[in-house]
């Protein structure tokens, strides 16, 4: 089983090849290929690699599928006895990426 823990968009995500994930929006068009090179942990069957903080020469090749918006979050603030209420919403901009492979860089 091949998997890696990748830092993308300020979050750490456990990724496997052939699956898609939602991360914070990246500046790429749908259909573009991107590489995630901040690999924190890598496992290839019985071989384990741990970065300090990142592992050099390993990257994940990904394809941007589409840009989406996350679930709506309602922010409600109220101060009792002051007649103050505030209701706002927020939807995070996200990108759906497909992890095609996790490879070592040959130089």
Radius of gyration of the chain from Cα atoms?
Answer: 19
Distance CA 84, CA 65 (A): 43
Mean pLDDT in residue range 18-22: 96
Q: Is 101's pLDDT higher than 70?
A: yes
Mean pLDDT in residue range 11-35: 95
> What are 66's two structure tokens?
């589409």
When divided into structural domains, the chain yields a total of: 1
Say what the pLDDT of residue 105 is: 77
Say what the pLDDT of residue 104 is: 83
pLDDT band at 34 (very low <50, low <70, confident <90, very high): very high
Q: Which domain holds residue 100?
A: 2-104
Say what the pLDDT of residue 107 is: 47
pLDDT in tens, 42-94: 999 888 999 999 999 999 999 999 999 999 999 999 999 999 999 999 999 99
> Quick count: other Cβ atoms within 10 Å of Cβ 99?
21
Mean pLDDT in residue range 5-33: 95
Say what the pLDDT of residue 9 is: 85
Distance CA 98, CA 33 (A): 9
Burial class (CB in 10 A: 0-12, 13-18, 19+), 88: exposed
Say what the pLDDT of residue 106 is: 63
């Amino acid at each position: 089983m091949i998997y890696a823990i990748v830092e993308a968009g300020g979050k750490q995500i456990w990724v496997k090849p052939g699956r898609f994930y939602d991360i914070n929006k990246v500046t790429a068009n749908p259909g573009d290929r991107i590489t995630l090179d901040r690999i924190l942990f890598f496992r290839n069957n019985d071989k384990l690699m741990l970065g300090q903080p990142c592992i050099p020469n390993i990257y994940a090749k990904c394809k941007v599928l589409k840009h989406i918006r996350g679930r709506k979050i309602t922010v409600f603030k109220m101060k009792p006895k002051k007649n103050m209420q505030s209701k706002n919403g927020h939807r995070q901009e996200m990108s759906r990426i497909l992890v095609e492979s996790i490879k070592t860089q040959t130089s």
